[in-house]
Amino acid sequence: MSNYLILYSMRTKAIIHVDRFLGNLNAIRTRIGNERQICVSLKANAYGHGALEIAKRSQEAGANCFGVATVSEGIEIRKGGIKAPVLLLSQGHPAEIPRIIEADLIPFVSDIDFADELNKEASDKKTKLQVHIKIDTGMGRIGCLAEDAAALATHISKCSNLTLKGTATHLASSDSIDRQDIDYTKLQLTRFKKAVAAIKAAGIDPGILHAANSGGIVLHPDSWLDMVRPGILLYGFKAAQEYELPIAHMKKLVKCKALMVEPVMELVSTVALIKKIKKGESVSYGRTWTAPMNTNIAILPAGYADGLPRLASNRWQVIIKGDPYPLIGRICMDQCCIDIGPEPKVERWDEAVIFGSDIIPEDENFPIIMQSAAALAESVRTIPYEILCNVNRRVPRVYK
C-alpha cells in the first residue's frame, strides 16, 4: 500500500474479506454443480466491493462471466484486463452501441428495434456481436413478452451481424418463502420454458439459458438451468434460509446442504477525538440527543456520505474492542458521535466497526450483537444491497 493510502485509510475504510468472497463463490459452485456456469454480478462497483478487484479474484477462481448494469462499468473492467464475457444486464441506449461493440459487451435484447440498431452498427464496424434475448416472464421490467420471444429470436437469426448466444429471464420474488411467491417463481419458470420451446420450434438455438439470481440459487433448483447470476449471495447475504421453506417445496433441496455465506465487507472507522459532555448538553444537528448524565463521547470520521445511513441516527451502534456503543445525535455527512460512558475503555485512534459480521459472544448469557449490513438495513427499513452500494467511492477498499 502506498503511504498515501495508509494515511487515507486511517479515516474510514471498507475491508473486503476476499477469502470470504471466494468461500461464497465456492459454496455456490458446490450447490449448483460443475456443469453449470456462474455469471458474477458486478453492478454498482460490485455492490460496493470494487468491481475490478472482484472481477480479477472471481476470474482466478473460475467464474465464467460477469454482469454489469452500465456500459461504463463494462469498460472499466475491460480496461483492467478482464477477458471473460461481460453481459450488459440493463437496456442500453442506441448512442452507446459503438462503445458496447468496442468493449465487447454482450447486450440483453428485448425488442426488434434495438436488435436492428445493434446489427447496423456491428455491420458498419464489420464485426459480429453476441447478444442474449431477455424475456419478461413476470418481472415487468426489461425483456420481451414471453409470447413474442420466438419472433424476436427469428428476427435476430436473420441479422447477419448478430449471434444469439443466450436466452434469459429475471425472477421477481425468488428470495421469498411465502407460498404465493414460490408459486409465482414457478409460474415465471413455466412461462420461460414455454418461450424457449417456441424458439426451438422455430428452428433457432436459444443458446445458454439462465434465470437464477441469488434467491433462485438458494430456493429454486428448477431455475439453475445452464448458468446462474448471483449477486448479493456472493457478497454474503441470504434473504431466506432453505429450512424455512414449506415442506412440499423442500424435497428438491434435501440433497443439498444449507448454503452458508459470510459477509464480505466490513466498514471500519477510527476514534478521532474523545471528549467529556456534561449532563444536559446536546450533540449534533437538530439537538436530537441530550446527555442524561455526565459522560464521554467519541467522534468518528464517518457519515452518510461514507455509507452510514442518516436514518440510523440514534438507532445503531458501533463495535470497539468487542463492545457495542450507541450512535447518538444525528449522523452528519462526514462525522458521527457515540456515547462511550462516564469511565470509557475506548481510547483515541481505536478501531470502530460500523458494520461487518454479527457477533456471537463467548459467554452464552450475552445476546448476539447484530452488526451486519443486513441488520443495519433492517434498522433503517431497507435491504443490504442498498447499504453496500452506498459506500461511497471516497472510502478506500482494503483487500484482505
Ligand X SMILES: *Cc1c(COP(=O)(O)O)cnc(C)c1O
Q: Taking phi first (over 0 means left), then psi (-120 to 50 degrees means alpha), and beta for anything else, what does residue 197 get?
A: alpha
User: Using CB under 6 A, which residues numbered 342 to 381 contact ligand X?
Assistant: none
Report the residue number, 263 or 303, with the smaller CB distance to ligand X: 263
User: Do 300 and 338 meet the contact criterion of CB atoms below 8 Å apart?
Assistant: yes
Candidates 74, 92, 143, 230; binder of ligand X (CB under 6 A) is 230
CB-nearer residue toward ligand X: 170 or 330: 170
Choice from 31, 43, 78, 330 touching ligand X (CB under 6 A): 43
Q: Is 214 in the site for ligand X (CB under 6 A)?
A: yes
C-alpha grid cell, residue 21:
468472497
Q: How many residues bind ligand X (CB under 6 A)?
A: 11
Distance CA 142, CA 166 (A): 16
State the nearest-atom distance from the C-beta of 105 to ligand X, in Å. 14
Q: Closest CB to ligand X belongs to which residue?
A: 231
Binder to ligand X among 198, 232, 245, 308 (CB under 6 A)? 232
Residue 134 bears catalytic tag: no
Confirm whether 184 is a catalytic residue: no
Q: Answer whether 104's CB lies under 8 Å from 124's CB.
A: no
Nearer to ligand X, 232 or 346 (CB): 232
Q: Please select the residue that binds ligand X; options are 32, 40, 46, 89, rule is CB under 6 A.
A: 89
Q: Which of 231, 303, 309, 396 binds ligand X (CB under 6 A)?
A: 231
Nearer to ligand X, 89 or 297 (CB): 89
- The nearer residue to ligand X, 237 or 355, going by C-beta atoms, is 237
Is 397 an interacting residue with respect to ligand X (CB under 6 A)?
Answer: no
284 sits near ligand X (criterion: CB under 6 A): no
Q: Which stretch binds ligand X (CB under 6 A): 224-232, 251-259, 312-320, 329-337?
A: 224-232
What's the rounded Cα separation, in Å, for the pair 68 and 390?
A: 17
Q: Which is nearer to ligand X, 135 or 395 (CB)?
A: 135
| Contact flag: residue 229 with ligand X (CB under 6 A) | yes
| Interacting positions 131-170 with ligand X (CB under 6 A) | 170
Task: Single out the catalytic residue among 43, 47, 238, 304.
Answer: 43
**By CB under 6 A, is residue 41 in contact with ligand X?**
yes
Given the residues 158, 276, 285, 345, select the one marked as catalytic: 285
Q: How far is the CB of 230 from ligand X (least distance, A)?
A: 5
Annotated catalytic residues are 43, 285
Return residues touching ligand X (CB under 6 A): 41, 43, 89, 170, 213-214, 229-233
